[in-house]
Amino acid sequence: DTGVSQDPRHKITKRGQNVTFRCDPISEHNRLYWYRQTLGQGPEFLTYFQNEAQLEKSRLLSDRFSAERPKGSFSTLEIQRTEQGDSAMYLCASSFLTGGVLPYFGPGTRLLVL
C-alpha cells in the first residue's frame, strides 16, 4: 500500500455543476478525514468518519456538500451546484487510532470553478 490516494487530482468545472471526489485511505485505517485548503491558508476541517459512520461535520460543510464512506473503505465528497467560492484544494487523510498515530494526507484534489 502506497498511501492515501485521491481522484481526480485536478478538476475544472463551471459554476452550477456538480462534482464528486474520491479518496482511498490506507487500507487498515478506520478513520478518514476531509479538509479544504484555500490559497494562502492552512487546511480547514470539513468532516470525519470512523468506519462508515460520519461522526463530525464542520459548519463549513453547507447543505451543498455531502460526504459518504460506504462500507468503511473509500470515501466520496460531492459538491452540488458549485460556486466560485468552492475553488480550493480538497484534502483527504486517514489514520488508525488517535493518541499519537499521525494522519496521513493524500495529494489532494484541486478544484477550480469558473
Partner 1 sequence: GIQVEQSPPDLILQEGANSTLRCNFSDSVNNLQWFHQNPWGQLINLFYIPSGTKQNGRLSATTVATERYSLLYISSSQTTDSGVYFCAVSFGNEKLTFGTGTRLTIIP
Question: Given the rule CB under 8 A, which residues bind partner 1?
Answer: 31, 33, 35, 40-45, 48, 55-56, 58, 89, 91, 93, 98, 100, 102-105, 107-108, 110
Residue 93 contacts by C-beta under 8 Å, 6 or more apart in sequence? 4, 32, 33, 35, 103, 104, 105, 106
37 or 80: whose CB is closer to partner 1?
Answer: 37
81 or 101: whose CB is closer to partner 1?
Answer: 101
- Residue 95 CB, shortest distance to partner 1, in Å, is 9
The helix (run of H) or strand (run of E) holding residue 66 is strand 65-68
* Distance, CA of 73 to CA of 29 (rounded, Å): 9
* Beta carbons of 35 and 9 less than 8 angstroms apart: no
- Residue 16 CB, shortest distance to partner 1, in Å, is 26
- Residue 7 CB, shortest distance to partner 1, in Å, is 15
